[in-house]
Structure 1
Amino acid sequence: MPEVLFSLDSSRKFPDQDVVGHNRWHPDIPAVASVRPGQSFRVHCREWFDGEIHNDDSAEDVRDAPLSIVHALSGPFAVQGAEPGDLLVVDILDVGPIPQETGPLAGQGWGYTGIFAKQNGGGFLTDYFPDAYKAIWDFSGQKATSRHVPGVSFTGMVHSGLMGTAPSAALLDKWNKREAALRATDPDRVPPLSLPPLPQDAILGSLTGADFDRVAAEGARTAPPRENGGNQDIKNLTKGSRIFYPVYVPGANLSMGDLHFSQGDGEITFCGAIEMGGFIDLHVDLIKGGMDTYQVSENVIFLPGNNNPQYCQWLAFSGISVTTGGEQRYLDSQLAFQRACLHAIDYLTTFGYSPEQAYLILGAAPIEGRFSGVVDIPNSCATIYIPTEIFDFDVRPSAHGPVKINPGKGAPTAKF
């Protein structure tokens, strides 16, 4: 096992650890440790809400989830010799739930998926699913099952939803200005178009006093992906992946967190993955001057992991860029993907699932999402592929009609 450079005590909250991570992006957050190019190390990670979501049959915790505290990130880790313009090479050697522990924290043998309420985060289909729902998933080896979504069992693609390097002061300023300009176009929108810096509940490592106050007022929220990587929620960034991150500050200052036991492409419920705490083993190296050499001035490139679940039978659904009200949109690929998801949800309800249970399946199971046609005006075509082997029954269309399953107690809900 590699040396543990960032450890977490499951009995204590994230800000109360001996070494404290962070939940905002800023170049002035001090590194918690320094690593050498060529070094391997282990990092413990807390799930993104730091224990606020519980293993129970209520969705009130999802409805009231405090978005101001996310994400609980481990790091930053300074890489010796890294300078702006380099590429940081990060290999994921291993990743998994909290080892050898059962208990009340997500990652201690279980995880959760949430449909977030429109008034508190929303999601890809929030206009169709405006209320909060939750599903608890139990882990058995690599398999996940849920008492809230019966009839499905699948192998998780365990991965880190969030990993990235620190922004430079100039890049941070760019983020804050462009996202403020976007909010200004519709300042009263629910959910908002972007999240401004928020000093409330900021966790900034070892910073104190005036430095803490300044960084808390400037630091970018960790919710979206940006040029530094960040919250990309790519399910294929799993064991065996190699990621190339742009370096914007001396030392690179790499941070990570938001571990997922499994996820479908898009993480469409916003908390669509199976969220958990756990560990990640990393190996780092540098390509000096790599940003110019390979024209990677922003955003990451990566080699996907090599231990994906071996599913070979799929049922695919398509959608085009026409709204549910019949309005034609021009090559709107996101709308086409939304319509494909809605078609899949409608289909799964014919077997007895509620629409919310079907939505939770699409967020948590290892579905494949694709933009399949983006050139034939006026309609884009998007598709989602659901592995048929995850179901305990045959979900393929047949002359006999759909089998009716017992949907169980259903997914807990909570309304505002």
Structure 2
Amino acid sequence: MPKPMFKVDLSKRMDDQEIPGHNRWHPDIPAAFSVNPGESFRMECLDWTDGQIENNDDPSDIKHVNLSRVHVLSGPVYVNGVQPGDLLVVDILDIGAFPEAEWGFNGIFARENGGGFLTDHYPEAAKSIWDFNGIYASSRHVPGVKFPGIIHPGLIGVAPSQELLDEWNKREKALVDTDPDREPALATLPERDSVVLGQVKDADFDRIAKEGARTVPPRENGGNCDIKNLSKGSRIYFPVFVEGGKLSVGDIHFSQGDGEISFCGGIEMPGWIDLQVNVIKDGMAKYGIKSNPMFKPGPVDPKFGEYLVFEGISVSEMDGQQHYLDAHIAYRRACLNAIEYMKTLGFTGEQAYMLLSTAPVEGHIGGIVDIPNACCTVGIPKDIFDKDVLPKVGK
């Protein structure tokens, strides 16, 4: 087993850990530890909400979750000899749940507190608890399904440079300024409330807290990309913006559907991850990677023989308005079509919504050139259900 280099106590919040992690991106957050290229190590992670959600049937904790606290990340990791312009090569060797915490959660956030992909249709908070049995997950809140998970970090990334951080904050503030009162907000801007900054000293704390970018979206540094196939055996090539790279990780999911549509998204859990790091000197220029990581998926993937696939096109379900090649609307329509079908199988709309966010469903862009309609699909593995879910011919 690789040496544990970042440990967590599940009974404590991130800022109370022996070595705290962080929940903002900033180049001046000190590294928690350093490693050499070629070294393997283990990092333990809290769940993305920092322990706010409990294993019970009451969705009040989802409804009132403090989103200024998320995501709590383990790290940063300083990789010796790594410089801006290099590529940091990160191999995910293994990943798993803690034996004392073999459960996870999914939820629908209330519209006024984060919302989700389908918040116009499902504006109220809901929660599902998922129990793990080896590689399988099942839920008392979404009965009738069981599926193998692809455990993965929803969030893994490197620190931005000060210049890149300033660019993020400038462009995201300009977006928010177009509709500052929107619910949910157009972007999450730097916020002093509930900030966790690792081992930052008092003299720098206020400055970094005011500048630090929220970890909610994916950006050029990687971050919260929520790619379900970024699991054990995967290799990631990160562009490096600061000395040492300063790699951080968290937001571990037992399983997730493409799109993580409920926002509280896959099956969220604390856990551990084993990583190995290497470096390609001047790799950004050498391989044309100016921003955003590239990755090679690992060989671990559940094998399903048949899917139920639902299509959607870029025509708004709210008013029938035609949009031009809008994949966001097309994927939303595909998800809504899947939910309506699952309601005929006995699921509530909320159960079906959470199932699309947690099960290893496959989302695809079928067509993005045939004006005016983009076509997106969402495919649900037929074998996750405990009954035949196909339409019956002649009945």
TM-score range, shorter chain: over 0.9
Instruction: Using structure 2 for the length normalisation, give the TM-score.
Output: 0.99
> 1:153-302, aligned counterparts within 5 Å?
153-302=146-295
Cα deviation, residue 272, structure 1:
1.9
Structure 1 residue 144 and structure 2 residue 144: aligned?
A: no
- Secondary structure at the residue paired with 1:257? strand
Instruction: Using structure 1 for the length normalisation, give the TM-score.
Output: 0.94
Structure 1 residue 356 and structure 2 residue 356: aligned?
A: no
CA distance in 2 between partners of 1:169 and 1:400 (Å):
65
Cα deviation, residue 400, structure 1:
5.8
Query: Is the Cα–Cα contact under 8 Å of residues 14 and 196 in structure 2 kept in the other structure?
Result: no
Q: How many residues align?
A: 394
CA distance in 1 between partners of 2:168 and 2:277 (Å):
27
- Secondary structure at the residue paired with 1:340? helix
What do residues 104-133 of structure 1 show as CA deviations (whole Å, max 9, x unaligned)? xxxx01000011111001111111110100
Q: Which residue number corresponds to residue 85 of structure 1? A: 85
Cα deviation, residue 201, structure 1:
1.0
- Secondary structure at the residue paired with 1:216? helix
Return the match for 2:329 from 335, 340, 363.
335
Query: Is the Cα–Cα contact under 8 Å of residues 104 and 269 in structure 2 kept in the other structure?
Result: yes
Cα deviation, residue 199, structure 1:
1.0
- Identity across matched positions, percent: 58
What do residues 37-88 of structure 1 show as CA deviations (whole Å, max 9, x unaligned)? 0000000000011111010011000000000111110000000010000000
CA distance in 1 between partners of 2:117 and 2:10 (Å):
32
- Secondary structure at the residue paired with 2:104? strand
Q: Which residue number corresponds to residue 16 of structure 2? A: 16
Structure 1 residue 387 and structure 2 residue 381: aligned?
A: yes
Structure 1 residue 129 and structure 2 residue 122: aligned?
A: yes
- Measured on the aligned residues, the alpha-carbon RMSD in Å equals 0.7
Long gaps (5+) in structure 1: 102-107, 402-416
What do residues 218-262 of structure 1 show as CA deviations (whole Å, max 9, x unaligned)? 000000000000000000100000000010000000000000000
What do residues 117-165 of structure 1 show as CA deviations (whole Å, max 9, x unaligned)? 1100111111111010000000000100000000000000100000000
- Secondary structure at the residue paired with 1:285? strand
Structure 1 residue 62 and structure 2 residue 62: aligned?
A: yes
CA distance in 1 between partners of 2:381 and 2:393 (Å):
21
Q: Which residue number corresponds to residue 378 of structure 1? A: 372
Q: Which residue number corresponds to residue 44 of structure 1? A: 44
Cα deviation, residue 305, structure 1:
1.7
CA distance in 1 between partners of 2:77 and 2:27 (Å):
12
Cα deviation, residue 312, structure 1:
1.6
Report runs of 4+ in structure 1 exceeding 2 Å deviation.
Answer: none
- Secondary structure at the residue paired with 1:74? strand
CA distance in 2 between partners of 1:243 and 1:314 (Å):
29
Counterpart amino acid of residue 155 in structure 2: L
Q: Which residue number corresponds to residue 35 of structure 2? A: 35
- Secondary structure at the residue paired with 1:383? strand
